[in-house]
Structure formats: structure tokens, C-alpha cells
């Protein structure tokens, strides 16, 4: 105890000494003391983003790769609001995030100044934990509670609201540096009964499937799940949008459940037993008239092997042993597509990526309909991570790529972006340029919201009339992503054909720093 320091500095110090050493920030007046504290706490790296959706998405991407939380720094209710869509994705990814929101000074709120709003109401839907700091001498405890909440398990979004006066007044907390008190919460071993039930179910007559997700979509879980599948004949599936799927040559390849319920129904057809390892029970992304929401086939029994705070990889390993699985998992064979030639298409773009993607790549995938060939074309690439649109909130891809690159210097990040999706949080490129991040963005350009054209008919709205059709078109005017990226300091070019695209990708993967490559995939779906 107790050198008095300002509250903001105490908060930043406590985070840094607990291993949280990156803050993605779009600060305002109420956060100025946090910004000032970056000079006195050099262990904390501040990363400026020009829009809050980039802040929160970057924190998500960082967490998925670093395996630990970053902090955010957001300005009051409206600043938080701009970051909520990507906090939604982070929540669905079970990413640990310490979400710091500045607020008006305690005594100022009653005047209802222009920026006043109900921050708790805004934060709650996308946070597993929300607290408002109220006592100067509790700030360290508040931060440690936020860290505890973020670490879980499961990992979560924890929002800490800090009134401006608490950030600028001196607090007599523990003397600096505060020690590391908060450790990652350990996942808990599942009850033996759960493993035995799953084993029995998988070995019973009928058709079995084992679905992995979340923490089970990493190497350990995949190896074990693959061994289980080999021993039991169960079909091995992965949830539709895993937060971070480890894949590539030598790693068991898992088939992801289709986004379209029609495809998922085929994948699950005839399955009588479904075992879930940190994956939610299959449900249609949206409802469609006359179609079931629940994608579990009628009569199929569902067993939850592991969920929430359970150690899913450990449970899968126990399961593998129990079913007498082979000790070694079968990984995907090393294979790359031949470099494509000729005209660009969704297929050619996927092949170009597959032909060139370097080992250790991190793919941030928001390619949507234009990306349907990507999984196949990269399955045999050197080992890499695949980050998916966990919560379905568009605008995730570029921010997540940005945060992932901060988390993993030396690894190449590949952002696969549909043109419509790229427009939500394109400010990410500026941060990529500013921080010299090794991110290659591939814009898969089809000049419309192709997914919505499909959805329009799937929801029974019939063939689009001319007005509706125009509402799903991204031209006129055409978007020029080369110009947009250059405007934010990122080198960009447009590929004329498959050969040029392949060469551009290879060059981008070899050169340090960010780049944007635009590839026209035509107007067909996929």
C-alpha cells in the first residue's frame, strides 16, 4: 500500500500486470486520463482505431489468437453502441474481452448532458458481466473482477464502466506495480458419466455424429474427435461458425455444418445419435416459412459431452480412450490446388488462396457466398487457423483480422471479405497501415448482397421485383476498393485474371505490412 495514483493509471496498471497489455481504443473526453496513462504504464500498448466497431472486433480477433483478453477503450453510451455488433460476435465466440467504457463523472450525470445514456442497458445484451465503478479504492478489485469474469470459463465479454471522476481522482489502491492476481479460469473436467453416456450412444446401433465447436475446434480436440470417429464410425462435424478452427495438412479435417439449413439437413440426414463437444445443438441461422428451426433430425438423440466451463478437449480424449480409439489421429493430407488460370471466379480465387497461403496463416473469413470454395481449396494447406463469423453480425472480418495480427506478429493474416461486408468496418485498414500489420485482405467482389438475394426467395418473398432487386445491389455506383484502401494508407490493387491474382497473393504474403487485393468473382453465387 499505497502510493496514490490516478484511477485511470491504476486500472491500466492492474490490467497490464495481469497480462492484459493491449488496448484497442477510440477514446473521447471521458477517457483522456486512460490515454494519458499510456505514457506512465509503458507495458500497455494502445492501438488507435478510427471507429468503435474496429475496436471491439480487433479485441475479439486478438483474443481468439492470443488466447487472452485485450482491453477496449470506448466513449460513453454512443461509443459503446458503435462497438456492440462486434461485441456480439465476441460473445458468440466466447472471446475474453475487458470492455472499458468511460462515462460522465458521477456528479455530472444528473444534469442529463447531451452524451448521457443508459450504458448498462446497452452493454448487457452483449456482455456476460457488467459493472459500474463506484468507489475509488475499489478500482483494483473492479478490474480484477472484470478479469475474472473475462477469463471464465467459459471466456466472456466483461464490461467495466468507469465514471470520469474515478479515472482522474487519486486512488489509494495497492502500490504499483500491482501483482498478477487473476489467472485464467481452468475448464473443469466433465463427469465420468458424460463420457460414458457419449461412448454408449456412439457405439449403439444407428448412425452417429460427433460435432465439435468452440474450444474443441483446436488441435487437441480435433485429434481426439477424429480418433473417436475412426473408432466408432461416427460422422465428424464442426459447428457452422467456429471461433477459431485449427486446420490444414496433418490436422484432422472436419466438415463444417452448412449455413443453409437445406445443406445442413443433408449433412445430418439419418443421424440417430448426435454428440456435442462445445458445440450448440444444430439450429437454423434464421427461420424460414414451413421449415424447422431445429436441425436435429426427428428422433435423433442429442448428448452433450461438454459445454460451457467443461474441458471439451479433455472429455474428447477420455472418450477416445474409452471407445478404444487409435492413439494417433489422421490428419488431412498435404495438398494445394494448382494455381488457377484464366478468368476470375469464386473458384479461381479460392484456388489462388489455396495455392499460396503460407504456413501459420490466420484466415479471417467473411467471404460469405463468394467464399464457398475456400474451405475445400485450403484443406490441405500448411497448418493455419480459420476465424469465422460467430455471431452473424456483419463487419467482423476486417477488425478481427486486425486484432489477430496484433496478437501474432510474424504470422500472415488473410482477410477474406465479401464486398458488402467490407463496407461496415473498412476503417480497419487504417489501423493495419498504422501498425504495419501483416494482413492481406482479399475482396471477393460480386457487387451485391448475394446472400440476401438467396434469402429473399428462401423466406418465401418470391422472386425479387425490380425495386427489391435494386435494394440488394451494390451498384450503381460501383465501389472501388483499391481507392478506398489507398485512402487509408494500404497498398491495393485489382487482379485482372487468376494468374495475376495468384502472383499478387504470393507477393503480399512475402512482403511485410498490409495490402488489399480486389478480385471480381462475377455475379454468380459462388
- What's 30's DSSP letter? G
Among 11, 18, 33, 155, binds a copy of itself (CB under 8 A): 33
CA proximity to 178, closest of 43, 5, 14:
14
Give the CA distances from residue 407 to residues 23, 355, 384, 412, 508, in Å, rounded to whole numbers and listed in that order: 12, 25, 15, 11, 19
What residues from 484 to 513 belong to the interface with a copy of itself (CB under 8 A)? 484, 486-489
Among 67, 117, 197, 493, binds a copy of itself (CB under 8 A): 117
Taking the complex as a whole, how short is the minimal distance between the CB of residue 267 and a copy of itself, in angstroms? 17
Given a contact cutoff of 8 angstroms between Cβ atoms, the answer to whether 399 and 52 are in contact is no
134 binds a copy of itself (CB under 8 A): no
165 binds a copy of itself (CB under 8 A): yes
Q: Which stretch binds a copy of itself (CB under 8 A): 87-95, 137-145, 311-319, 359-367?
A: 87-95
107 binds a copy of itself (CB under 8 A): yes
Exposure on the CB side of residue 216, measured as CA atoms within 13 A: 33
Among 207, 219, 434, 507, binds a copy of itself (CB under 8 A): 434
Cα 19 to Cα 29: distance, rounded to the nearest angstrom: 26
Closest to a copy of itself by CB, 376 or 487: 487
What residues from 310 to 369 belong to the interface with a copy of itself (CB under 8 A)? none
Among 272, 284, 522, 526, binds a copy of itself (CB under 8 A): 284
124 binds a copy of itself (CB under 8 A): yes
What residues from 43 to 62 belong to the interface with a copy of itself (CB under 8 A)? 46, 48, 50-51, 53
For residues 138, 93, 323, 199, the Cα torsion angle rounded to the nearest 10 degrees is 80
220 binds a copy of itself (CB under 8 A): no
Closest to a copy of itself by CB, 462 or 512: 462
Cα 220 to Cα 214: distance, rounded to the nearest angstrom: 12
4 binds a copy of itself (CB under 8 A): no
Taking the complex as a whole, how short is the minimal distance between the CB of residue 392 and a copy of itself, in angstroms? 4
375 binds a copy of itself (CB under 8 A): no
Torsion 296-299-305-309 (CA) sign: positive
Taking the complex as a whole, how short is the minimal distance between the CB of residue 442 and a copy of itself, in angstroms? 17
Among 135, 263, 343, 471, binds a copy of itself (CB under 8 A): 471
- H-only helix segments in 163-235: 164-168, 192-203, 219-232
Closest to a copy of itself by CB, 54 or 404: 54
What residues from 386 to 405 belong to the interface with a copy of itself (CB under 8 A)? 390-395
Closest to a copy of itself by CB, 141 or 474: 474
Look up residue 480 and give its three cell numbers. Answer: 472501388
Cα 210 to Cα 203: distance, rounded to the nearest angstrom: 12
Closest to a copy of itself by CB, 90 or 320: 90
36 phi, psi to nearest 5 deg = -60, -35
Given a contact cutoff of 8 angstroms between Cβ atoms, the answer to whether 440 and 509 are in contact is yes
- The footprint of a copy of itself on this chain (CB under 8 A) covers a number of residues equal to 103
Among 285, 301, 302, 330, binds a copy of itself (CB under 8 A): 285
Beta bridge mates, 97: 70, 157
Question: Grid coordinates 480409439 are at which residue?
Answer: 325
233 binds a copy of itself (CB under 8 A): no
Three-state secondary structure of 313-345? HHHHHHHHHHCCCCCCCCCECCCCCCCCCCCCC
456 binds a copy of itself (CB under 8 A): yes
Amino acid at each position: 500500500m499505497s502510493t496514490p495514483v490516478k484511477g485511470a493509471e491504476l486500472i491500466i496498471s492492474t490490467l497490464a500486470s495481469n497480462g492484459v497489455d493491449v488496448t484497442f481504443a477510440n477514446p473521447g473526453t471521458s477517457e483522456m486520463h486512460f490515454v494519458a496513462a499510456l505514457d506512465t504504464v509503458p507495458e500497455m500498448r494502445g492501438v488507435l482505431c478510427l471507429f468503435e466497431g474496429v475496436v471491439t472486433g480487433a479485441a475479439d480477433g486478438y483474443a481468439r489468437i492470443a488466447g487472452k483478453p485485450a482491453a477496449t477503450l470506448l466513449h460513453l453510451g454512443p461509443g459503446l453502441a458503435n462497438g456492440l455488433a462486434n461485441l456480439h460476435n465476441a460473445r458468440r465466440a466466447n472471446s475474453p474481452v475487458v470492455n472499458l467504457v468511460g462515462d460522465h463523472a458521477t456528479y455530472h450525470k444528473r444534469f442529463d448532458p447531451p452524451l448521457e445514456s443508459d450504458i448498462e442497458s446497452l452493454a448487457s445484451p452483449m456482455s456476460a458481466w457488467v459493472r459500474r465503478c463506484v468507489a475509488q479504492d475499489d478500482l483494483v478489485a473492479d478490474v480484477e473482477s472484470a478479469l475474472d469474469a473475462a477469463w471464465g470459463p467459459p471466456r466472456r465479454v466483461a464490461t467495466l464502466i468507469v465514471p470520469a471522476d474515478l479515472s482522474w481522482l487519486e486512488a489509494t489502491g495497492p502500490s504499483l506495480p500491482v501483482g498478477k492476481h487473476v489467472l485464467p479460469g481452468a475448464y473443469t473436467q466433465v463427469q465420468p458419466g458424460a463420457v460414458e453416456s457419449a461412448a454408449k450412444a456412439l457405439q449403439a446401433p444407428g448412425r452417429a455424429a460427433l460435432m465439435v465447436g468452440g474450444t474443441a475446434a483446436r488441435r487437441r480436440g480435433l485429434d481426439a474427435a477424429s480418433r473417436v470417429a475412426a473408432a466408432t464410425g461416427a460422422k465428424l462435424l464442426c459447428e457452422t461458425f467456429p471461433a477459431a478452427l485449427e486446420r490444414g495438412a496433418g490436422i484432422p479435417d472436419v466438415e463444417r455444418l452448412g449455413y443453409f439449413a437445406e445443406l445442413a439437413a443433408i449433412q445430418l440426414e439419418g443421424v440417430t445419435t448426435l454428440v456435442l463437444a462445445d458445440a450448440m445443438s444444430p439450429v437454423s441461422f434464421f427461420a424460414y416459412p414451413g421449415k424447422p428451426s431445429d436441425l436435429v433430425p426427428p428422433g435423433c438423440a442429442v448428448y452433450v459431452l461438454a459445454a460451457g466451463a467443461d474441458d471439451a478437449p479433455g472429455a474428447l480424449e477420455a472418450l477416445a480412450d474409452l471407445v478404444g480409439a487409435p492413439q494417433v489421429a489422421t490428419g488431412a493430407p498435404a495438398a494445394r490446388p494448382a494455381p488457377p488460370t484464366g478468368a476470375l471466379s469464386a473458384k479461381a480465387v479460392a484456388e489462388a488462396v489455396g495455392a499460396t497461403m503460407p504456413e501459420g496463416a490466420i484466415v479471417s473469413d467473411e467471404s460469405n457466398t463468394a467464399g464457398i470454395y475456400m474451405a475445400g481449396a485450403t484443406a490441405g494447406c500448411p497448418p493455419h487457423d480459420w476465424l469465422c463469423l460467430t455471431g452473424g453480425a456483419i463487419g467482423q472480418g476486417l477488425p478481427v483480422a486486425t486484432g489477430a495480427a496484433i496478437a501474432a506478429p510474424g504470422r500472415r493474416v488473410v482477410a477474406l471479405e465479401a464486398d458488402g461486408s467490407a463496407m461496415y468496418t473498412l476503417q480497419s485498414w487504417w489501423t493495419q497501415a498504422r501498425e504495419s500489420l501483416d494482413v492481406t485482405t482479399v475482396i471477393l467482389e460480386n457487387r451485391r448482397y448475394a446472400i440476401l438475394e438467396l434469402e429473399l426467395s428462401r423466406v418465401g418473398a418470391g422472386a425479387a421485383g425490380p425495386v427489391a432487386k435494386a435494394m440488394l445491389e451494390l451498384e450503381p455506383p460501383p465501389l472501388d476498393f483499391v481507392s478506398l484502401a489507398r485512402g487509408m494508407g494500404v497498398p491495393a490493387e485489382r487482379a485482372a485474371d487468376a494468374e495475376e491474382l495468384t502472383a499478387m497473393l504470393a507477393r503480399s504474403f512475402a512482403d511485410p505490412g498490409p495490402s488489399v487485393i480486389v478480385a471480381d468473382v462475377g455475379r454468380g453465387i459462388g
